[in-house]
Structure 1
Amino acid sequence: MSEFAGMEELLQDFLLESSELLSDVDNKLVELEKRPNDKALLNDIFRGFHTIKGGAGFLNAAPMVTLCHRTENLFDKLRNGELPLNPGLMDTILDATGQVREMFGRMGQGLMPASAPQALLSALDNALAGGAAAPVAPTAAPTAPAVTTPTPAPAPAAATSGAQDPDWQQLYGAVTGQTPPAAPAPAAQAVQVAQAVAITQPVPPSPAQPAAQRSAPAKQAAASAPAPVENTIRIDTHRLDQVLNLSGEIGLTKNRLTTLRTEILQGNAEAHTLRSLDEAISQLDLLVGDLQNAVMKTRMQPIGRLFQKYPRLARDLARQLGKEVELVITGEETELDKTMIEDLNDPLVHLVRNAVDHGVEPTEERIAAGKEAQSQVLLSAEQVGDHIVISITDDGRGMSAEALRRKAIEKGLIDAETANSLDEKQSLQLIFLPGFSTKDQISSVSGRGVGMDVVRTNIQKLNGRIDINSIPGEGTRISISLPLTLAILPVLVVRVCNQPFAVPLAMVREIIPIEQASMQEVSGKPTIVVRDEILPLRTLSGLLGWEPTQKPSFGVLMQSAEKSFILAVDSFVGRDDVVIKPLENIRPRGVAGATLSGDGAVVLVLDMEDLLKPQEANAQASRSLELLAL
């Protein structure tokens, strides 16, 4: 039973607001360490902590009130100039804020927080008395949450021939995650699969677990009970008003359609009535599109709420490693779907930690190389089209492609022949291999070769892409490109081998007719010149590993991450906004999911980045795609 019976709503409001306040306090404490004489900043910190103490007092959380009061006394002495701010004192203060966060976790489970460790209270009292401040224990860098890489699902049985009917029962199970019913006729099976795709909803991702804390009792408590799931979201009232207004407009249009329907059923099918019906349907189409966009905006949250967790993480890790690092954040107002923000926590924790641990050199090494003693790690976000790009850039030692290839060979991850075939960009991607690490010795921070593998896995789950650029001696930039939302995807529906496919509209520049006279061969590969630009021609049937049924009639000019090309297709259906349904237990290469067309047909949504990988890699997946083709 909850120890806050009767105050559950107040408790949830307190935890939501105070968690944000505490994150803001942590960030400002990191800033205060750089500007110890900034009285306005110290006053902001004081006010934030005082608000947390007031809320804890209202909930009768005496242990938290006691800890906050002692910490406030330190802030007061700093504000009055009675104590100098030094790294040891800051460690003690951050230990106190970390303990408050642990108390939040216990309160989230409906339990009264335990008293702060006596060692921490003694350290605060000692600092207040003017003694030498020191952290309660050697400062440990915050550790990334444990993440389990999903086990790949067994590969589906391959069809024995391209002409064989798809394995409908297997597809039904893959889409629904259920045991298929007794085998009906093929037409009925197709209907079942279409219905299954229509009703299958994505499982909402669980929020990221909080970073491991320093206190042993808190760790044990966290292990015994799961972290509470945050199921609330803050929405601007202006956006809700927009949804309400659109709902009212749709209601009026619905009434108009009902009236027209009655007139038509009564035999009034004159031209004027049919024209009014067409106008009402067009109006409804526009309103539904606007409502869809307005509802999606209610899910959008500024990514700064996630970024604010990292300045302290970088500061604590740098202190542990004896480095001077400043984390600079830009673009925190950029908005992203809330569920994606939650799933981004683990990858960004790993990337920030890697930048501080692997990317940044020790102070002596930086000075010897003619660099500033303090390194700068830049965490930025910006919206580019219908994608958001998150970048982590450091000015550290950078990475050598040759060194990465050599390390991968030493660890037995690739052979020498494969290593020699890799270009510089492919060599940088080696850091994502499971078990790859540039560290020879395992530490509490890194060395096991797990972190970057987890990063890539989680980004791929979000239909994102991760790229690396690095210059030895100058630094490394890791960029993550993500769709703004996973719920709705604008696509262009094309047709090849009598099968419809959807490609992301964000990659489409234009559609052109393909004429044999306009095709040329360069180095034995077909190309087409478009406005003085020579572009390679790739057939969709070839990327899928299928035998073409006709010569392609149209080309879709596509813009990939680093190159442009023309995708040859038989025909195209048109533009659409689709809701992607995941394929449970089966995900062939090159397929992001499935959706339904207006006529009820199942359309596979293609992952073009995956399809553009070397042809031999896709050959193994062609049979799996045949199984999914309807």
Structure 2
Amino acid sequence: MDELLHQFILEARELVQAAIDNLLALEVEPDNSGRLDSVFRAVHTLKGSTGLFDLTPLHTVLHAAEDSLGRVRSGAANLDTSQIDAISAGLEWFDRCVDDLDAHGAVDPQRLQQASALEQALVGGAGHADEPEASDAAEWALSLAAQVGGSATVALRYRPHPECFFSGDDPLELIASIPQLTHLAVKHRDPWSTIDMFDPFRSNLHFEALSAAPIGDVEAIFRLVPDQVEILSLRRASEQPVELAPTEARADTARSLRVDPARIDTLLDLVGELITTKNSMSALGETAIALPGGAELARSIAAALKDLDRVSGALYGGVLQTRMVPLAQAFNRLPRMVRDLSRRLGKPTHLQIDGDTIEADKTIVDELFEPLLHLVRNAMDHGIEPAAERLTANKSAAARIELRVVREGDTISVSLSDDGRGIDPAIIRSTAMRKGLISTERAESLSDRNTFDLLFTPGFSTAAKVSDLSGRGVGLDAVRTDIARLGGTVGLDSRLGQGTIATLRLPISFAMTQLLVVSVCGERYGVPMQDVVETVRIRPEAITSIRANRAFVLRDHTVPLLALSDLLGLAKAPPAEEMIVLVLELVDQRVGIIIDEINERIETISRPPGGLLKGMLGMAGTTVLGSGEVLLVLDVAELVG
């Protein structure tokens, strides 16, 4: 992809999100001029950026949105709900166009055809009737064009910031870049100082210019200094000029650096190889001890290994920190969705988010949105009652959804709660029995918490009718699958009439993995330590046959028993007098896995399976042992399932 287009895509997504966030805030605080200015700046910058590419429909929609916001800023119109809806729709459409550019290098032609309707919606609510034919703010441009004459279509007034040179700006180069320049006037901003007080590092210039080029071409040149320039289309004298409030200081931007995530992943792989090499040095120490007089050499190797362990650990931690991003990146689309659903369903709902500044691995943050999307939809569609029903139950007409994040050591707890009608466990049990998922005896023995777990069964749904939001039996099972893939868990709790809370527990990062290396049929495999509850030894007589299956009793609980050799399709080992069993916690039950031997516990970086192993059932990844041997890491839950 072209580097300029790649940079545009990155900036566009950030600006769209910032604009929509501020629009939603303006719906609550319509008089917040700071928010309004921020939206205007974002839209104006986006519009200027599209001028760098052949994206005329995108430029047209953004221009209409900018016009609408400009009228509000000048006081010629009020920002009402219909305008917010129209501007938000235009920005979301623009966001999808950017997704097309990122995925295919071009915008879907069918999507481009929607530009006309979006522009019409923005113009339709603009309130032109209250607008004068030519605003006072535009008089300078109209006066300049009248004095100079000619075929100019764009008027420009550029006041470089006095410290612009320290920001890397070159005002003369920008002015010289204006295409089809028909007039240029250079003035001083402030009276010139004396020679002995003159500061050559401060700009004191003021430019006025006319151009016959399209306005988008001119705006593209000044897109990085929107707070220092006013640009006006002379062909549309009735519109407001671009008059931007000063932007916030760009010190934070100057200190930040965008890095391709693939480069960080490559660096992480190299750190993994360093850790593998470090692990192999332990064997050198053992070899040295066996040599005549090798004790001193072994001590030297141990000291060097200790230093290497410290440095590699610090390096790993530093690289891992570069992958940490705030959870806000997973949450930032939820307010839009709640707002749209509350209108669509007729259920006024307020979303409160706490703890979104907590950071987690980028992969976890990127994958978290979809599970949250399912949970929010379920809360809005099933959990929250209509306003009339809430008032009857002595609740406020507006419902409340709270998304809260808490860091607990190396894990995060993400809870999504609502104050809706709650879940009736009796209905879940009866539905499960009707669908043949559980027996009557099993239903009677289930606690409420275990009953709520039935909602995660694939295909299970208590919805009375199917809608485009829910009722198809797809949702909560997908949530559990997605969270489990990230190394986390999800649970539900509910109180009838009071609401429901879904709790997701996830690792902060999962690049470094603790593995238990086990042997079966002469082969070694890695089992994630997070799945292992305990290890036990059992004798053959302790095993009970249940039809074609086996089980054993562990502290008054029956645990299904499987052999890892059978799961992997390996040759069966001869029966032993005592069997080693890994007791694993898989989803919602414990399972015993028979192995031949436990070798060691290691901490390493595992990689996703590739090549022939990609897509192979039960393979979670690979890692390299200190000996150089490649170790397959098992996904035991997938093998058992």
| TM bracket, shorter-chain basis | 0.5 to 0.7
SS of equivalent residue, structure 1 residue 128: coil
Q: Which has the higher contact order (CA 8 A, sep 6+)?
A: 1
5 Å matches for 1:172-211? none
State the distance in 2 between where 1:453 and 1:561 align.
11
User: Which residue in 2 is equivalent to 1:342?
Assistant: 366
State the one-letter code of the partner of 2:29. Answer: R
Q: Following the alignment from structure 2 to structure 1, what is the Cα–Cα distance between the partners of residues 40 and 338?
A: 23
> 2:327–2:357: 8 Å Cα contact kept in structure 1?
yes
Partner of 1:123: 121
Q: 1:104 to 1:572 in 2, by over 3 A?
A: closer
What CA distance in whole angstroms lies between the structure 2 residues aligned with 1:338 and 1:404? 36
On the 8 A contact 2:514/2:602 being kept in 1, the answer is yes
Amino acid at match of 1:314: V
Return the alpha-carbon distance in structure 2 between the equivalents of residues 550 and 286 of structure 1: 44
**1:110 has 2:105 as partner:** yes
C-alpha spacing 1:35/1:502, structure 2 compared with 1 (3 Å):
same
| 1:83-119 superposed Cα distances (whole Å, 9 cap, x missing partner) | 3333333222222212222332343333367364433
* Cα contact 1:596–1:603 (8 A) shared by 2: yes
Return the offset for 1:498.
10
Q: 1:448 is aligned with what amino acid?
A: R
- TM-score scaled to structure 2, two decimals? 0.61
The structural deviation recorded for 1:57 is 1.9
Report the secondary structure of 1:450's partner residue: coil
Judge which range, 47-56 or 571-580, deviates more.
Answer: 571-580
Q: C-alpha distance in 2, partners of 1:480/1:119?
A: 41
What per-residue deviation string (whole Å, max 9, x for no partner) do you get for residues 506-547 of structure 1?
6899x9999xxxxxxxxx9776xxxxxxxx899998998999
CA distance 1:57–1:111, shift in 2 (3 Å): same
- Residues 532, 582 of structure 2: 8 Å contact kept: no
Shift of 1:427: 1.4
- Asked whether the equivalents of residues 537 and 568 of structure 1 are also in contact (C-alpha less than 8 Å), the reply is no
Distance 1:383 1:563 in 2: 26
1:8 aligns with 2:18: no
Whether 1:488 aligns to 2:512 is yes
TM-aligned CA distance change 1:131 to 1:560, over 3 Å: farther
- Partner SS for 1:454: helix
Unaligned runs of 5+ in 2: 131-256, 538-551, 567-572
Does residue 76 (structure 1) correspond to residue 70 (structure 2)? The answer is: yes
- 2:604 is matched by which residue type in structure 1? D
Taking a change above 3 Å as real, the CA distance of residues 25 and 413 of structure 1, as seen in their structure-2 partners, is farther
Distance (whole Å) between structure 1 residues aligned to residue 587 and residue 435 of structure 2: 30
Q: 2:30 aligns with which of 27, 36, 43?
A: 36
The 2-side partners of 1:555 and 1:444 are apart by 43
1:576 is aligned to 603
Matched, 1:59 2:57: no
1:33 CA drift (Å): 0.9
- Determine if the alignment matches structure 1 residue 457 to structure 2 residue 455: no
Aligned length: 473
CA contact (8 A) 1:391 1:480 kept: yes
Deviates more, 1:436-445 or 1:545-554: 545-554
Please give the alpha-carbon distance, in whole angstroms, between the structure 2 residues aligned to 1:49 and 1:355: 33
Aligned residue in 2 for 1:151? none
Q: How far apart are residue 393 of structure 1 and its match?
A: 1.4
Superposed CA RMSD:
4.9
Normalised by the length of structure 1, the TM-score is 0.62
Q: Which position in structure 2 is the counterpart of 1:419?
A: 443
Separation of aligned partners in 2, 1:268 and 1:584: 47
CA distance, structure 2, for counterparts of residue 538 and residue 504 of structure 1: 23
Q: Provide the rounded CA distance (Å) in 2 between the counterparts of 1:559 and 1:413.
A: 21
The correspondence of residues 372-411 of structure 1 with structure 2, limited to 5 A, is: 372-411=396-435
Task: Measure, in 1, the Cα distance between the counterparts of 2:308 and 2:98.
Answer: 47
Q: Using the aligned pairs only, state the percent identity.
A: 35
The answer as to whether partners of 2:563 and 2:593 remain within 8 angstroms in 1 is: no
- Distance verdict in 2 for CA 1:345–1:282, change over 3 Å: same
2:392 to 357, 365, 368: 368
Q: Name the CA distance, whole Å, in 2 between partners of 1:554 and 1:433.
A: 28
Alpha-carbon distance between aligned partners in 1 of 2:622 and 2:502, rounded to the nearest angstrom: 30
Letter in 1 for 2:410: D
Residues 5-47 of structure 1, C-alpha deviations (whole Å, 9 max, x = no match):
xx92111111111112111211221221111121111111111
Q: Structure 1 residue 409: deviation in Å?
A: 3.4
Q: Please list the CA deviations of residues 460-496 of structure 1 after superposition, one character each: whole Å capped at 9, or x if unmatched.
A: 3323211111111111111222233343213466899
* 1:496–1:571 Cα contact (<8 Å) kept: no
Q: Give 3-state SS (helix, strand or coil) of 1:52's partner.
A: helix
Q: Are the counterparts in 1 of residues 417 and 501 from structure 2 also a CA contact under 8 Å?
A: yes
Q: CA deviation at 1:581?
A: 5.8
Q: How far has the Cα of 1:343 moved from its partner?
A: 2.8
Q: Does 1:47 align with 2:74?
A: no
Structure 1: tracts of 5 or more residues without a match: 1-6, 133-232, 515-523, 528-535, 612-617, 625-630
Q: Secondary structure at the match of 2:450?
A: helix
